[in-house]
Amino acid sequence: MNSRVRNVIIRMIVSIIIFVYISYLAWKSLPTFDFIILMAFFALFLGWSIIETFIYKDPDTLAVEDDDRRSYLFLQLSSFLALFYALIDFLDYHFTRMGSLEPWVMYLGFGIFILNAILRYHAITTLGKYYNPRVAIYQEHSLVTAGIYQKIRHPMYLSALLNVIAIAFIFSSWGTLAIMLFAVLPAVIYRINIEEEFLLTHLGNEYRQYLEHSKKMIPGIW
């Protein structure tokens, strides 16, 4: 078992333990509809984690250089903060709940989550052996410009933003949207800048031409 699969399995086990504990607490305190929303989210989250484990492909060669600058850590921490706040606010405090927009905002959140999963699936399967959560380059590295990468360079980071937006809507939380805007979005932009600087250094004119014919995350706009 490689380290990637092992880490995903560990994350899933920890997630299941946390979710079971939260579910136990929620069963006692939440209205029935809110409890159903919580369980539906947990089911989607775990289902996607299993799918991602199976579609991951090991690289053919070793990474020869890494220049992450803790950008992955910042992105993970900001996303975790958004999820943590959304759950706490939904389960107990209700400081920033979108009460007047329920339940439709929750249904919209599930739709965005599914859209995000489809986007992430295509991004990961298109990258194939070059998918790496860190900013790295392999011994035999080719620039991927097929599929979804024809139009946008960073569908994975668009997925990260959509994921937080989905969580904000599912748990009916204005506060989570604020965290996305002031924490997750800056982390994504920081990550993109590092990655593009890194690829320009290593792929030169090939990546420079790709920059001219594609957008960062929104086709035709940015």
Per-residue pLDDT reduced to its tens digit, 11-52 = 778 777 877 777 777 777 889 899 999 989 988 988 888 888
Q: By C-alpha distance, which of 76, 75, 61 is closest to 136?
A: 61
98 and 130, same domain (yes or no): yes
114 and 26, same domain (yes or no): no
- Residue 111 and residue 211: Cα distance in Å, rounded? 31
- Residue 13 and residue 46: Cα distance in Å, rounded? 10
**What is the structure's pLDDT at 176?**
97
How many other β-carbons are positioned within 10 Å of the β-carbon of residue 61?
10
Mean pLDDT for the chain?
Answer: 89
**What is the structure's pLDDT at 140?**
77
Confidence of residue 220 (pLDDT cuts 50, 70, 90): confident
80 and 165, same domain (yes or no): yes
- Of residues 67 and 37, the one with the higher pLDDT is 37
- Of residues 192 and 134, the one with the higher pLDDT is 192
Read off the pTM. Answer: 0.90
What is the average pLDDT across 173-190?
97
What is the average pLDDT across 104-112?
98
The CATH number of residue 164's host domain is: 1.20.120.1630
Q: Quote the percentage of the chain above a pLDDT of 90.
A: 58
166 and 184, same domain (yes or no): yes
- Does the structure show a pLDDT above 90 at 155? yes
**What is the structure's pLDDT at 126?**
94
Answer with the one of 56, 71, 103 that is the final residue of a domain: 56
Find the domain containing 34 and state its range: 1-56
- Does the structure show a pLDDT above 80 at 7? no
138 and 196, same domain (yes or no): yes
**What is the structure's pLDDT at 132?**
81
Number of domains in the chain: 2
Q: Quote the percentage of the chain above a pLDDT of 70.
A: 96
168 and 112, same domain (yes or no): yes
Q: Quick check: is 51 in a domain?
A: yes
Using DSSP, state whether 15 is helix, strand or coil.
helix
88 and 155, same domain (yes or no): yes
CB distance 222 to 216 below 8 Å? yes
CB distance 164 to 184 below 8 Å? yes
Confidence of residue 92 (pLDDT cuts 50, 70, 90): confident
Q: Quick check: is 144 in a domain?
A: yes
Confidence of residue 4 (pLDDT cuts 50, 70, 90): low
Answer with the one of 56, 72, 87 that is the final residue of a domain: 56
- Residue 211 and residue 135: Cα distance in Å, rounded? 17
84 and 110, same domain (yes or no): yes
Q: Quick check: is 221 in a domain?
A: no
- Residue 42 and residue 20: Cα distance in Å, rounded? 9
**What is the structure's pLDDT at 50?**
83
Answer with the one of 9, 35, 56 that is the final residue of a domain: 56
- Of residues 195 and 2, the one with the higher pLDDT is 195
**What is the structure's pLDDT at 103?**
96
